[in-house]
Structure formats: structure tokens, C-alpha cells
Structure 1
Amino acid sequence: MQLPCRSLALRPRAGVAVLLATALMLAGCAELPPAVVTTAPPAPAALPEPAVSPRSPTSEAMRTRFAAVQERMLAQGLLRTELQPQDALYSASQLTENFIRIALYDEYSSFGGNFVARETAARLRRWEAPVRMNIEFGASIPLAQRNADRITLASTASRLGYVTGHPVSVSAQNPNFTVLMLNEDERRAIGPRLASLVPGIDPAVVRTVTNLPDSTYCVVFAFSQGDSGVYTRAVAVIRGEHPDLLRQSCFHEELAQGMGLANDSPAARPSVFNDDEEFALLTRHDDLLLRILYDPRLRTGMLEAEARPIVSTIVAQLMGGTS
């Protein structure tokens, strides 16, 4: 059976400067959940690795390019890593609107056999089965990078499980959420592997991955059967040429979006669900979005009109009544 693509999230290149929020920053949260511990777990025992293939000249050029991109962003004050920055406070009403826009709208739509940037209303989507994440590496990914990426995957999965209350683990046994870490030539040839990971995959998905423009850093697709909104499979693709912080940022954003927060919003701050690239890693604001998404009072398949009053109630409880 073909599994229709229900969620696509692309990580585009940042603009030249930070997009400054025009809304007034209101009082911070009175009662927030405890801070998430993000210390990486111990590295798993080393397993025999195949010989690493050399990068192609094209991949080497991409690696140099993205190193310069990260350096430029940092110089502009982007890619911030604070969990709860005091210069980016938000109110309950702002958090509610951010959730509605990010969880109940799609960033991309299928049009003419391709995905185009066109925001459309969507049903609430999330996983009901336990999420089992696994990472696969292209042959030219260096061993040290593989070890670092495994640790990032494990720590990100642990955080997602903690904040959502939903089972999220790293497992090579029957995984249903696969992360592909690929250099340029490997990504262009990944079509057959995508077809084996997701039988009946839409050719538009394969084209999106294999023809990924240089301006897109990473991408995730989540799949459900029919219009249920229940995710059963997800695949994230991250460029192996990224320097450490950009790669870690892709892990945070794409894995979180693959949990059901499919859209971005220019109003969301502080958040990775904003294409301005001000924040590189999940913030407390984003933890709250994930917690709301998996609150049992919400149901998979809900539309905005039904979900909004419930979301408002959940947010008021999380933030202690702060408006």
C-alpha cells in the first residue's frame, strides 16, 4: 500500500540578518516544566566500521562552503544555543498561536508532482506507536563524525521522549524513523534506499531528496496511512558536509518536526521552527510545543477549530495562567 506523505519539512538557508520580532515580549512563564537534561549518554561500544571512502571534489567543496556559512551565521549572532533566553520571552497567547501555526499547518504542498512552498491547513499529526530511531551513514562519512552523530542522535531521541512522554528510543531493530547522513554524491544516489525504507514512496519525495538544492540544509518526511494523521514511518536526510553545530541543529529540528511539528513560523521565538536561523537548538519554548502535541487531551486528526480551545487550556496550565 502506498503511504502518502503527510509532512515535509525543509531546512532552508538563513537570510542575511536576524528577523527581529515585532511583537512585544511579555512576561515569562510562571510555572514551566523542569529543565531538560541534555547531557549526551555514554557512547555505545565501538563496532567494526567499513573502510571510509574519500569524499569527492564536489563534496569537499560543499564542506568548505558550509563551514563558511556556519562561521558567517555565528558572526551575525545566529545559531544561538540558549535553552531559555531572557531576551525572547513569550506569553501564553503567543505560545498557543505558535503551536497552532506549527502543528496544524503544512509548510509545503504537493503540486504538479513536486513539493512547493505553500502553507495549508492540516490535521494534527503524531505517532501512536513507539518511535525507534536509527542512523545510516554514507560510505564517505568519517568515523569520528559517525561517533559524534550517534551521540547526538541518542541525546536528541532521549530529549524528545522526555518532553513528549512518548516512547522514543534509538534501535537498529525494526526502526521506523531513519536518519540518513549523506555526502553530496551519496544523497544523489539514495533513491533505491528510500524505496526500500518506504515501500510505495511517492516519486516526488525521492526527487526532492536527490535534487536537494544547495540552499536546503536538511529535510524530513513523515508518512501516515490515508488521512489518519497517525505517523508510521519517517526519514530524515542531513548533509554530511555540515560542520558540527549545523549538523546538530539539523538533528534537533528535523527529528522534532518528524514527531509532528511540521511547519515553521516567522512569529515563533525563541524556536528552531523559524527559518531565520536565530536559534540552532531546541529551546524551552520548543519543548513546550512538543509537550502540547502529545498531551492526551488532543487527538490525532483534529483540525484547528476543534484543537484550539484544548490547546489554550493546556498552555494556560503549563504557564500558570500567564496571558
Structure 2
Amino acid sequence: MHRGARLSTLLRGGLPLAACAVLAACTPPPPPDQPQGIAPRARPANLQGPVKESPESQAMRAYFAKVQTDLLAQGLLRTDGGGRDTPYNDRMLAENFLRIALYDEYERRDGGFAQREVESHLRRWEVPVRVGLRFGPSVPEERRATDRARISSYLARLSKITGHPIGLSDSGVNFWLHVVAEDERRALGPQVAEALPTLSASEIAGITQMSTTTYCLVYALSDDATSIYNRAFAVIRAEHPDLLRLACLHEEIAQGLGLANDSPNARPSIFNDDEEFALLTTQDELMLKILYDRRLRPGMTVAEARPIVETIAYELLGGES
């Protein structure tokens, strides 16, 4: 298996950082050769329409098309949300929620990240989530319109599930979502620093220099004292084919709401590194519903949250076995 990293860690000095990089292929094709000397392209002021893709971006597009084809050939990237072959009950739902929402898979050490699953605290948004959607200059207008419609619909679905205000916004943005090509992402440093001013240079480089095995990512910042999210920054590769692109949107936005970890036992779920499911599943919806239930509060430990989570899970599934 060749997988990307999913990060959940704690920034020293006040702000916990949950950084989730997702969707890595099982035995993917080798990464494309990286053309040398390609500088990020700015959009000329007098240019109408999108900037032409760089050779590097074209190579990445071909690479990820092959990745998607291979995943589909393995029966992965399902879009059915789960069915008779993926049963789960209230006990499984509660355990999966606790593992995904209250554990971190990575911790921060000396400016970097080390893989070590550690117990954390419940984190979620308490203020309205205002998503600012940004496209790189090379993304065609037709694709922008499609993505915007899909994202708007998905945010409305998430808002209905959680009972929390979530939607696209042009002002007061606190969740930045960038859809960018390879060379455009490398020029995102100033935007990342402005949106998440507490990040170090090496952490910003984790976004701008994202490896090929990382298909997309989200960094979400919460206040150390309250465990309440206040900012998030997500990056989606513009080179992704349709389903892989939609899968990234589904997982990164949902993770940015507070489901930051993975669990190999969570099925059906997109919060599982096996890529079986591409889109938010029935169990994922229930985990989001639990996360934003007012009986839970940000900052809770596993021990504090467990009895409440078990009660909510039982209410949602009625003790199904």
C-alpha cells in the first residue's frame, strides 16, 4: 500500500492544528516526471479566459486519471453510501465516532509531524462556517461553475445534517477552500500565511510543497483553551478527474468540521484509509450529527464524551444489531 498522510496534531503556543491530508491510492502508478524550472504563472490582466495549464499540471492530470481508473477497477471509490454489505449498529457507530473525532493520528514535534495516535479532545465549530471558494487561474469557467454548484449543495447538506450554519460566503470567510493546479498551489504561501498566521514556514510548506501521494488536505485551527474551531484552509488539486475531485471535496470539508482522524474499523465511511467509499456515507452523516449534538461540548475527553455518545448513537439507530 502506498498512502498519503493524515495529520492531527497540536501546535505549541496556543492553537491546536488538525491537518488532514487524504485519499491516497492503493498501489498507485509512479508519479509523473516533474518538469524543471516551471515558475508559478500569474493571470495576465488583459487575458480573457483561463491560463493555459503548465506541462507539470498536464502531467499531474494524466497521473491522477490513471489513479482514479485503477481505484475504480479495484471496486473502490463507491458512491452508494453503504448498503447491506456494510452493516453497523449503535455500538459500532459510537466507537467509530470516538476514534475519529477524539483521537489525533499525528503529533507535532520540532516543527514536523510524527505518526503517533494520541487521545485528544472533541473539536467543532461554534460560529457559522463561512466558506470562501477560490479557483486557480487555470481552472476553466465551466469547471468552476460545476464545482461551485456541487460545493454549495454539499454545504447545504452538511448544514442540514449538523444543524449548524455552513455555506459559501464572499465576506467574513473563516474556511478557505482553494482549487488549484500544481504550480498555482506552490504560490499559495502568502494566502496561507494570511489565513492561518500562526503556522510556521515548514507547516506552510506542507501545503505549498504537497507531495504527489497527498491528494488533498485541510488544516483546521482551534483555540487551545476551548477546542473551538475558528479557521480552516483546504486545498484540492485542480488536476483531479471528476470523481476523485468530488471525493476530496467531500472528505476535506467534513474533516474540517471536526472529524479529523481515521479508523480502519469505520465502514461504511470516508474516514478510512482504504478508499472504498468516495462520498459521504450514511454512517458519516450520523457521526456529523453526533458531533454537533448540543449534549456534547468542545473540549470533552473520551471519558467525558463516551456515555453521551453511546446514548445518542442508540437514539439514532435504536439498538440495531
Report the TM range for the smaller structure's normalisation. Answer: 0.7 to 0.9
Between stretches 238-247 and 81-90, larger displacement belongs to 81-90
1:84 to 64, 82, 86: 82
- Secondary structure class of the residue paired with 2:18: strand
Structure 1 residue aligned with 2:131: 133
Taking the aligned partners of 1:210 and 1:4, their CA distance within structure 2 comes to 21
2:102 to 89, 101, 104: 104
Taking the aligned partners of 1:108 and 1:209, their CA distance within structure 2 comes to 16
2:24 to 13, 16, 35: 13
Structure 1 residue aligned with 2:92: 94
Instruction: Decide whether aligned partners of structure 1 residues 12 and 169 sit closer, same or farther in structure 2, where only a CA change above 3 A counts.
Output: closer
Instruction: Decide whether aligned partners of structure 1 residues 72 and 222 sit closer, same or farther in structure 2, where only a CA change above 3 A counts.
Output: same
How many correspondences in the alignment?
291
Instruction: Decide whether aligned partners of structure 1 residues 50 and 290 sit closer, same or farther in structure 2, where only a CA change above 3 A counts.
Output: farther
Structure 1 residue aligned with 2:152: 154
Is the contact made by 2:16 and 2:224 (CA closer than 8 Å) also made in structure 1?
no
**Structure possessing the higher relative contact order (Cα contacts under 8 Å, 6 or more residues apart):** 1
Is the contact made by 2:49 and 2:141 (CA closer than 8 Å) also made in structure 1?
no
Structure 2 residue aligned with 1:222: 220
Taking the aligned partners of 1:184 and 1:175, their CA distance within structure 2 comes to 24
Map 1:1-323; keep pairs closer than 5 Å: 4-16=15-27, 51-323=49-321
Question: Which consecutive unaligned segments of at least 5 residues does structure 2 have?
Answer: 1-12, 29-46
> 1:290-317 CA deviation, whole Å, 9 max, x = no partner?
0000001101000001000110000001
Structure 2 residue aligned with 1:46: none
Taking the aligned partners of 1:204 and 1:130, their CA distance within structure 2 comes to 30
- Secondary structure class of the residue paired with 2:233: strand
What TM-score results when the alignment is normalised by the length of structure 2? 0.87
Instruction: Decide whether aligned partners of structure 1 residues 150 and 107 sit closer, same or farther in structure 2, where only a CA change above 3 A counts.
Output: same
Taking the aligned partners of 2:225 and 2:23, their CA distance within structure 1 comes to 27
Percent identity (aligned): 51
Is the contact made by 1:53 and 1:140 (CA closer than 8 Å) also made in structure 2?
yes
Is the contact made by 1:14 and 1:275 (CA closer than 8 Å) also made in structure 2?
no
What one-letter code is carried by the residue in structure 1 that aligns with 2:94? T
- Secondary structure class of the residue paired with 1:15: coil
Between stretches 289-298 and 2-11, larger displacement belongs to 2-11
- Secondary structure class of the residue paired with 2:19: strand
> 1:18-77 CA deviation, whole Å, 9 max, x = no partner?
xxxxxxxxxxxxxxxxxxxxxxxxxxxxxxx96311111111000000001101111110
Taking the aligned partners of 1:132 and 1:214, their CA distance within structure 2 comes to 29
> 1:209-245 CA deviation, whole Å, 9 max, x = no partner?
0121101100001111223210001111111100010
Deviation for aligned residue 1:134: 1.7
What one-letter code is carried by the residue in structure 1 that aligns with 2:132? N
What one-letter code is carried by the residue in structure 2 that aligns with 1:301? G
Runs of 4+ in 1 over 6 A off after TM superposition: none
What CA RMSD, in Å, does the superposition of the two structures yield over aligned residues? 1.6
What one-letter code is carried by the residue in structure 1 that aligns with 2:84? Q
What one-letter code is carried by the residue in structure 1 that aligns with 2:271? F
Taking the aligned partners of 1:128 and 1:237, their CA distance within structure 2 comes to 23
Instruction: Decide whether aligned partners of structure 1 residues 53 and 96 sit closer, same or farther in structure 2, where only a CA change above 3 A counts.
Output: same
Deviation for aligned residue 1:13: 1.1
Between stretches 219-228 and 263-272, larger displacement belongs to 219-228
Deviation for aligned residue 1:16: 4.1
What TM-score results when the alignment is normalised by the length of structure 1? 0.87
Taking the aligned partners of 1:282 and 1:109, their CA distance within structure 2 comes to 26
Structure 2 residue aligned with 1:33: none
Between stretches 262-271 and 137-146, larger displacement belongs to 137-146
Deviation for aligned residue 1:3: 6.5
Question: Which consecutive unaligned segments of at least 5 residues does structure 1 have?
Answer: 18-48
Is the contact made by 1:218 and 1:237 (CA closer than 8 Å) also made in structure 2?
yes
Instruction: Decide whether aligned partners of structure 1 residues 16 and 92 sit closer, same or farther in structure 2, where only a CA change above 3 A counts.
Output: farther
Deviation for aligned residue 1:201: 2.5
> 1:165-190 CA deviation, whole Å, 9 max, x = no partner?
11111111111111011110111111
